[in-house]
Chain A
Amino acid sequence: MSHPRGRRPSRRQLLRGALAGGALVTLGLPWLEALAAGGGFPKRFGLFFWGNGNRPERWTPSGEGEGAAWALSDQLAPLAPVKSEITVVSGTSVKLPNLSPHYSGACGILSGAPYDEGNSSFTQPTLDQVIAGEIGGRARLYSSLQTAATDTLGDSWSGPGARNPAESDPYALYQRLFGDTFVEPGSGGLVDPRLGLRRSVLDAVSGQLTALRLRVGAADQIRLDQHLTGVRELEQRLARLQEDPPELDACVRPTSPDTSYPNLGGRPQIAERNQAMAQLLAMAMACDQTRVFAHFLSAPINDVLFEGASAGHHDLTHNEPGEQPEVHAITVQCVEHLSTFLQELRSVPEGDGTLLDSCAVLATSEVSLGQTHSLDEMPIVIAGRAGGALRTDLHVRSVSAENASKVLLSLIRAMDIPSASFGIDEARVTESFTEIEA
């Protein structure tokens, strides 16, 4: 596999800001001001998704409540190293009609809205984009990032027909985040006259889009608006690159993944890719390059050959007989990868705590029992305290099969976004899942 290329290696124009001295604009990030005022680190949100669900009878923890009152189940056992950092919510349901196998569930649990089968599209923004729309712009470079550990585009959507494709090649993600344009804290902004020229070109592109917008129908206007948003975000990113990066203790350029982790013997190197992506995302947040991510370990209906499995994951969920020990074992692997991912976030120190403390990570799948595409007993694990807004080391069981959207509304509010509701149709809620809120 050839490596997708980042920007050209340091050209003659590429000089570090340190050489240019006081010509640089000093960046007054709200975060730094907040820190100076004792306001703590910025909140971050993440999604960790795996496909094809679980085996619910071996998923639900025993006991309810906090700390010693609850214990991890068979399938959740790999989360033991981070038990004190997580909350498990069991027993909730996606309330939408289950019309499209897997996708009704994926769309329901991620966006609280029905799936558009005819157009193969989500119909509302997914949770990561709802949150990115509010807090994403405060990050230095990217309002959100999407990654995957297998070959999938993921399911982060900004709206109908507007998917944010996931990057599944860690090397490419490294180049994008920590390649030639990366500047270590304290070394000043990038001095590259081309940055200004690129912004001039983007200005021209914006003008073309705006003019074109007047000539097209309503659906195209929305598409062009999204194009324009992307252009403006890129323009702003180029401007930020010219500014002095914030002084963040934990921010260092990580080691480059030395490979794109191609499939080996028909099986993806899922553990390696997952860990590499986790490390890159953790550092991207430590450097405030982004505050929102969506990470897809695998996709709905994926037929990935997991380690040790005798068939593809989706195939097994339907065709493995009995209690499905192989499906169980694959679910355990998915949870192991989640555990690794969370431990990577926790390994980054921030202030007196860790990066994970300021995060809320929602880990979930599109169904519970894959065999029947069940939307009851949805698998939900939340990690991190969202800067103190969420409780942890907790198992809450919903005895009345509450609407899973309530949990999502809690997460939105935990990001200090004062939303009155989340979801539409049967998935709509106005009350959050208060048991998990601190």
Chain B
Amino acid sequence: MPSISPAEATLRRLTEAEYLNTLGDLLGDGLLLPTALEPDVEIEGLLHVGAGQTALSPRGIEQYEDAAFLLAEQVVADPALRARVFPCDAPDPGCTEAFARTFGRLAWRRSLTPGELEQLEAIASEARAVLPGEPWAGHELVLAALLQSPHFLYRIELGAGGRFVGTELASRLSYLLWAGPPDEALLDAAEAGALEEAAALREQVQRMIADQRARRGLRAFFSELLGLHELDTLTKDPAIFVHYSDTLGASAREETLRTVEHLAFEQAGDYRDLLVTHTTFVDRQLAAIYEVPAPTLEGFGEVLLPPGPRAGLLGQVSFLARLAHPVSTSVTRRGEFVRQTLLCHEIPPPPADVDTSIPEASSDAQTMRDRVAIHLEDPACAGCHQITDPIGLGLEQFDGIGRFRTEEGTAPIDPGGDLDGVPFSDALGLGFVLRGHPDLPACLAQTWLAWAVGHPLTPSEGQLAGWHADGMALQGHQLLWLLEDLATSDAFRIAGSTLGGGR
């Protein structure tokens, strides 16, 4: 295994998904969860990287404080919730202290210090004095205090002696594998020092991957990798795309996540097959776009797409509609996604001071291929657009929302091309070329590792990711194999210096 020197460890704010998952795991179902939260920020294509760099705004602080009381009020007001969340059923100081200790350990992902418990007890005591008519006031204020603390809102994983150990490693593992907090078993193992022992660590990782929560973790990663959060604000002109509706983005996201989840957990399949699979999951809305019979009246069902160009991630609405304009396709955006997100190729940004317009359709330039030809001829543009546009042109048989078509205007669409010298004749062919591209598995490993560690990879970390990708290749490119490998990797456990750090 190559040696690594990681970037400086930084505080990682829980992303919105992690925050909500954490609350769900701590408090259970049935609560009204906060909806207005500090938005996540994408840096280097990942919200997880943004979460390690950006500051909380004053508005965000206000929202977290509001949310903490929203949740605490609900818990104390409902006997069933109280019974679930509190370790004892008595509104007395002893029970409040027990609650602070046990719940605090889950919420802060480590045991609280005596000083921290004293501070909470002081708040509880003040609450009992100020609100004598409210027996659960002490519990309520303790809960509200725990949930707005930096020890809850940030993952404080700073390392000790150059390694992540104990409860810091536990929370790294749980947010990688579950996109949520450690459970008691993991915390017990961590506090007993068991995670420092290779076999015991692997045992925990395997237990966690076998747990239902691992599906949530896989979804969280692929949602970020594929930019699926952008589907929340998908905008299409319904006058042009009659199949568009305001719920299409959410449906498209669910289709893609189900496809990935199915491949990883049900099939233990080859990651690369995500580019060519004809199996997908659709609701009625997506079935109409794909022109297949809806498998079910309500919700989603599995379908096998008919033989043809539509297959894999590049045939799904989550990709085709997101990386397009409100009224048309975008060969550049689609090509850019394939290059940057799937293959980790760098594309320089366009120069700012040029006219980037492409000519409008005319009788001698009806198709997008004819129209973007000018980008590919102008040397100022060709440098980058040669990298992106031929890929996008291979997908032109799918319109700006993802419906299949064979003509643009009255001219036939030619979806042929080549990717790094390997020819393809249509979108399915492109999928197969991509499936065989040597950079595809390494790119996945790099992005997953960056997601796991929460910073852009240093060169040595990137090399290590490539080493893990090679390992995955020997295991039939199984996603869960790679995940287990990353979770037990040195890259995930070696901490960069924080104080006086450099890289």
Q: Chain A residues in contact with chain B, CB under 8 A? A: 2, 4-8, 13, 98-102, 104-105, 117-121, 142-143, 146, 151, 153, 158-159, 161-165, 167, 169, 172, 176, 193-194, 196-198, 200-202, 204-205, 207-209, 212, 215-217, 219-220, 222-224, 226-227, 229-231, 233-234, 262-263, 265-267, 303-305, 310-312, 315, 318-321, 371-374
Contact = CB atoms under 8 A, between A and B. Distances in A.
Interface string B228-259: 00000101111100001010000000000000
Given A120-B41, A230-B57, A263-B235, 13 more contacts: A5-B34, A98-B352, A142-B58, A143-B58, A163-B57, A167-B59, A205-B148, A223-B11, A233-B61, A234-B65, A305-B235, A319-B357, A320-B360
A305 B326 contact: yes
15 contacts: A4-B34, A5-B35, A99-B349, A151-B233, A153-B39, A161-B54, A164-B59, A201-B123, A212-B151, A219-B10, A223-B11, A224-B150, A226-B57, A230-B60, A320-B360
Contact of B36 (A172, A224, A265, A305): A172
A201 B145 contact: yes
Contact of B355 (A159, A169, A372): A372
A267 B246 CA distance: 10
Contacts of A305: 235, 237, 326-327
B434 interface: no
Contact of A158 (B8, B55, B357): B55
B150 A208 contact: yes
Nearest to A265: B238
A342 to B, nearest CB: 25
A144 to B, nearest CB: 8
Contacts of B325: 303, 311-312, 315
B78 interface: no
B150 A373 contact: no
The 5 closest A-B pairs by CB, nearest first: A230-B61, A4-B36, A230-B58, A226-B55, A98-B352
**Most B C-beta atoms less than 10 A away, residue of A8, A205, A262, A315:** A205
A373 B119 CA distance: 55
Contacts of A8: 69-70, 73
Nearest to B37: A4
Nearest to A314: B325
Contacts, number: 213
Nearest to B119: A204
Interface of B: 8-11, 32, 34-36, 38-39, 41-44, 50, 53-62, 65-66, 69-70, 73, 119-120, 123, 126-127, 130-131, 141, 144-145, 148-151, 156, 158, 233, 235-239, 244, 246, 325-328, 349-360, 498-499, 501
Contact of B498 (A143, A164, A220): A220
B354 A372 contact: yes
A7 B328 CA distance: 43
A262 B54 CA distance: 28
A167 B35 CA distance: 13
A226 B69 contact: no
Contact of B58 (A172, A223, A234, A373): A234
Contact of A117 (B36, B38, B60, B349): B349
Given A205-B150, A318-B357, A101 B349 contact: yes
B350 A216 contact: no
B275 to A, nearest CB: 27
Contact of A165 (B57, B235, B238): B57
**Most A C-beta atoms less than 10 A away, residue of B239, B244, B325:** B325
A24 to B, nearest CB: 17
B201 to A, nearest CB: 25
Contacts of B65: 198, 201-202, 234
B58 A220 contact: no
B327 A222 contact: no
B126 A197 contact: yes
B235 A312 contact: yes
B60 A204 contact: no
A201 B144 contact: yes
A204 B123 CA distance: 9
A301 to B, nearest CB: 12
Given A101-B349, A205-B150, A164 B355 contact: no
Nearest to A305: B326
Contacts of B149: 204-205, 208
Given A231-B61, A372-B354, A216 B498 contact: yes
**Most B C-beta atoms less than 10 A away, residue of A159, A304, A310:** A310
A170 to B, nearest CB: 13
Given A164-B59, A233-B58, A265-B238, A120 B10 contact: no
A215 B150 contact: no
A86 B299 CA distance: 55
A201 B141 contact: yes
Contacts of A2: 35
B169 to A, nearest CB: 17
**Most A C-beta atoms less than 10 A away, residue of B8, B53, B239:** B53
Contacts of A6: 66
Contacts of A158: 55, 57
**Most A C-beta atoms less than 10 A away, residue of B158, B327, B350:** B327
A234 B69 CA distance: 14
A324 to B, nearest CB: 10
Given A5-B35, A215-B158, A217-B499, A234 B349 contact: no
B352 A303 contact: no
A358 B5 CA distance: 56
A78 B115 CA distance: 63
A208 B499 contact: no
B40 to A, nearest CB: 10
A2 to B, nearest CB: 6
Contacts of B235: 263, 266, 303-305, 312
B118 to A, nearest CB: 11
Contact of A207 (B43, B119, B350): B119
A13 B42 CA distance: 41
Contacts of A176: 62
**Most A C-beta atoms less than 10 A away, residue of B10, B39, B43, B61:** B61
A22 B127 CA distance: 24
A319 B358 contact: yes
B487 to A, nearest CB: 25
Given A172-B36, A197-B123, A315-B325, A98 B353 contact: yes
**Most B C-beta atoms less than 10 A away, residue of A197, A219, A267, A320:** A197
Contacts of A104: 352
